[in-house]
Structure 1
Amino acid sequence: MYATFGKESGGGAAEEIRLRQVAGPGEKTLRLWENEPEGGGYRVDDDTPMRDAGERPSFASVLTFAGPASDAVKQAGDRAHRERVAPAMADFPGTVRVLGLWDPRARRQLVVVLTTSLESLEEGGKRIAELPLLPGEDPALLPGPDHVELYRVES
């Protein structure tokens, strides 16, 4: 599966999630595609339904890891998500879905977290920040996001 994230228009996506910035005028659309869209896009490396997967999301946090990320940083981030963050957040109230998007050309990543409330985003972020590292995890390979944006989910 693939994704595009921005203001571009065009039909044919398998799923569209329209977003309106919480503290600003910005609007973007996350489009999910069965095949790589013309002009490229992100590869969907992770699409995890969370505890409240049956609920309609109301808010989204988009974390940008600008890159370019080395193979070691990408692997460390994937491991951190798979073995530490996702298990800790699997039963977190209000979390609907997490998507990990990877741009292999620019070697950058977006993580989109969909929740039922702003409180879920805030409390979930606190929980993640307090998680202890796993044995063998190198904090130098886990730089954290370069940018975080908050959105209301419009559709």
Structure 2
Amino acid sequence: MYATVHQFRRATAGESDGWGPALAADLHHDPAPLGGCVLGQVAGVHGAAVAFWPDAAAAAEASAHTATGPTWLDTDVFDVVQAEFAPGAPRYAQATWFAGPRDAARVRAESFAGTQRVWPAARQVPGAGPVFVLRGADGAALVLGFAESVTAIEAIQRAVLATELLPGEDLALLTGPDRIDLHRVFHDALPADVTLGGTR
């Protein structure tokens, strides 16, 4: 599975109550994606429209889509390399960005940390929701973590920071994110089942 992420600047003055679902439908209507969400910054004007696709060709085609309303910024295509599910309703999201290029050793280290240490700690927190790890062709990554509340996101952060490195982990390869955004979820049609990778 692949994902497109369209970043945008919101036109808040003209937004209706249902602007999130309307934007998702206008942006990707033919063909429709396998799922997705629309995010808007808490106390900010930026947002992101995320959509999931069965293969790289569909994602590449969808990356050229635009819709009326917001000011469109960067658009990226990612491979979905990890998907985890917890029962918390996806009302808020933390978008954690790791800029590329990232070499193979760093990518392996981040993947190991995410699956073996970070997610086992995060999923225990009440209110935790699904997590999708997206990886770009140059090793760049976007981690989308969903939760029921900002309080739950803060609790997840504390739980993760309290973990200790596992045997074999190298702190020098785990330099941390380049950017973290806190979003409200304005549209949620996240896939309940994910096939990692896909057909290029």
CA distance in 2, matches of 1:141, 1:6: 28
What TM-score do the two structures reach when normalised by structure 1?
0.91
- Aligned match of 1:110: 142
- Aligned match of 1:147: 179
- Aligned match of 1:30: 50
Cα-Cα RMSD:
1.5
1:43 is aligned to 2:75: no
CA distance in 2, matches of 1:136, 1:48: 23
Shift in Å, 1:27: 2.3
What secondary structure, in the 3-state scheme, does the structure 1 residue paired with 2:60 have?
A: coil
Deviations along 1:2-54, one digit per CA (max 9) or x if unpaired, are 0011148333211120111102111211111112212561000011102x2xx
- Aligned match of 1:120: 152
1:64 is aligned to 2:97: yes
1:132 is aligned to 2:168: no
Whose Rg is larger?
2
Read off the aligned partner of 2:82 and give its amino acid letter: D
Unaligned runs of 5+ in 1: none
CA distance in 2, matches of 1:93, 1:87: 13
Deviations along 1:115-145, one digit per CA (max 9) or x if unpaired, are 0000011111111111100011110000111
- Aligned match of 1:81: 114
What percentage of aligned pairs have identical amino acids? Answer: 31
What TM-score do the two structures reach when normalised by structure 2?
0.72
1:96 is aligned to 2:116: no
Unaligned runs of 5+ in 2: 9-26, 64-76, 188-200
CA distance in 2, matches of 1:130, 1:28: 29
CA distance in 1, matches of 2:120, 2:96: 19
